[in-house]
Amino acid sequence: MVIKTVVQDKSLIESQVSAARFSPLTRQVLAATGPIISSAAAGMTNGFSAILLPQLQRPESSIQITSDQSSWIASMAPLPMAAGCLLGGFLMEKFGRKVTHLVLNVSFAVGFCVLSMASSYDMILAGRFITGFSCGLIGPPASVYIAETSHPKYRGILLAGVTFAVSFGIFISHLFGTFFHWKMAALYCSFFMAVSYLFVALCPESPSWLLSKGKTGEAEASFRWLRGHDADALKEFQDMASSYSPAGESQEPKPTLLQNISKKEFVLPLLILLVFFFTMQFSGVNIVAFYSISLMQTTIGSNINEYLAMLIVDLVRVITSLVACMLLRVVGRRPLAMLSGCGTTISLAGLSIFLYFQTSIPVYQNLSWMSLIFLISYIIFVGIGLFPLPWCMSGEIFPVATRGIGSGLTSSFNFISFFVVIKTGPSLFAAFGTNGTFMIYGIISLLGALVLYMILPETKNRTLQQIEEAFRSGWRTSESKTPVPGPTEQSKA
């Protein structure tokens, strides 16, 4: 297949953003910024119930709620996330990654505005439902768009920016809720969506999606805007474009959807991510975010202010997510996953054991700060691997023909698990106690880490085409990876 250079598109793009002022890396970061800010809104949604529920439960609250209504307010956001993921996967394949991001920014803003104007329990549920549905929408396109617009050398750190943004969003919502009424906090959260919309509007569509629609000229212009004009970038684009054949050029019929999802290059990544997302959710990663205040009261008692402890944990989560971005730049996916799984298991088991003795032996009641240390250790270990890695890999291990449906299905499964964990959390705490529940999460983390050790491949420094070919040939986790060369000096200029 011969790829023709579209001179007018190249000139147009280069006139919009001067190559002398903005390097390809700067443009890739710019393209990732919109989805990353949108992901922060997902974090705000996840963390909002932690500051909303305590304020609603105060005697002076204008909206009075029961304990059952409190549970529904917390779980109403995860409830529609799975459906949002499926719709997000469909929209990104039908209308493009960029258009889908513009739509979900509007959806997020509407949801937060409904919350800010809520005057009844039903309106709160409606706002939580809309923001939760928007979280589902952001699931598939964020990771896919970043993976498709970034160089393999930078893909890990930019994808990790999504989970950093989620952690930062949780911290921001808790910070707003600590100092402002929950209605004002919701309004302030909506402002982020206008910024995200602007960044997305300024950036091009994914080159991979444009090629899949036969728009070769637009795809090349988009690719060069993102990656520059050096020889390595040209070769990568030609390799990418060669996997697409315009209608009529190939005598072979186009594979059906059923045929595509039956191939091993789709089935293997699907199974890997289902295990990864299950392990991540059922290790309790979102329980701490959703029930922060009540968990702090139970875990550390009255010796430490629970709001201060919550913000400390949030800051640790944000810093850990930032560290994870750096680690994904230099460390492979497999060793990071194993370190995270083992550390999470040890932290949860330690927290569970200490809480048991704390409630059984009086001398331990004055050492509640140790519970906070165990909790912080848990946040650190889960934050460097189990939390960011499945989101990173969902944008890079599916073949391009099924990337939308694959990321949509796995993200949907993640949010179904999310809902189950949040809805069953209070029941588990009531039935097994806080210490017993943390031990259950620790056991699941251990089993998940063992399974991932056997099935998780290494994708660091591979192009998306190399990853797809590797799965097609039956990827083994013990395979040595073939790194791609980094950007040349011309592409860095």
Q: Digits of tens for pLDDT over the chain (493 positions)?
A: 444 444 444 444 444 444 446 688 889 999 999 999 999 999 999 888 878 888 888 888 888 888 778 878 887 888 888 888 889 888 988 899 999 999 999 999 999 999 999 989 999 999 999 999 999 899 888 988 998 898 888 888 888 888 889 889 988 988 888 888 999 999 999 999 999 999 999 999 999 889 888 888 898 889 889 888 777 777 778 877 877 654 444 445 667 767 777 888 888 999 999 999 999 999 988 777 666 666 666 666 555 666 777 777 778 888 888 888 888 878 888 999 999 999 999 999 988 888 777 766 666 666 666 777 888 888 899 989 898 899 888 888 888 778 878 888 898 898 889 888 877 888 888 888 888 898 999 999 999 999 999 999 888 878 878 888 888 877 655 444 445 444 543 334 3
Q: How far apart are CA 115 and CA 123, in angstroms?
A: 7
* pLDDT score, position 7: 40
* pLDDT score, position 294: 65
Tokens of 299: 């875990």
Q: How far apart are CA 400 and CA 243, in angstroms?
A: 10
Q: What is the chain's length?
A: 493
Secondary structure string (H, E, C) spanning the chain? CCCCCCHHHHHHHHHHCCCCCCCHHHHHHHHHHHHHHHHHHHHHHHHHHHHHHHHHCCCCCCCCCCHHHHHHHHHHCCCCHHHHHHHHHHHHHHCCHHHHHHHHHHHHHHHHHHHHCCCCHHHHHHHHHHHHHHHHHHHHHHHHHHHHHCCHHHHHHHHHHHHHHHHHHHHHHHHHHHHCCHHHHHHHHHHHHHHHHHHHHHCCCCHHHHHHCCCHHHHHHHHHHHHCCCHHHHHHHHHHHHCCCCCCCCCCCCCCHHHHHCCHHHHHHHHHHHHHHHHHHHCCCCHHHHCHHHHHHHHHCCCCCHHHHHHHHHHHHHHHHHHHHHHHHHCCHHHHHHHHHHHHHHHHHHHHHHHHHHHHCHHHHHCHHHHHHHHHHHHHHHHHHHCHHHHHHHCCCCCHHHHHHHHHHHHHHHHHHHHHHHHHHHHHHHHHHHHHHHHHHHHHHHHHHHHHHHHCCCCCCCCHHHHHHHHHCCCCCCCCCCCCCCCCHHHHC
* pLDDT score, position 5: 41
Q: Which of 34, 65, 68 is nearest to 52 (CA)?
A: 65
Question: Which residue carries 């994904």 as its tokens?
Answer: 328
> Helix 216-227 vs helix 231-242: angle between axes, to the nearest 10 degrees?
150
* Tens-place pLDDT, residues 375-418: 888 889 998 989 889 988 888 888 877 887 888 889 889 888 98
* pLDDT score, position 485: 47
* pLDDT score, position 264: 84
The model's pTM is: 0.74
* pLDDT score, position 393: 87
Buried b (16+ CB within 10 A) or exposed e, 5-35: ebeebbeebeeeeebeeeebbebbbbbbbbb
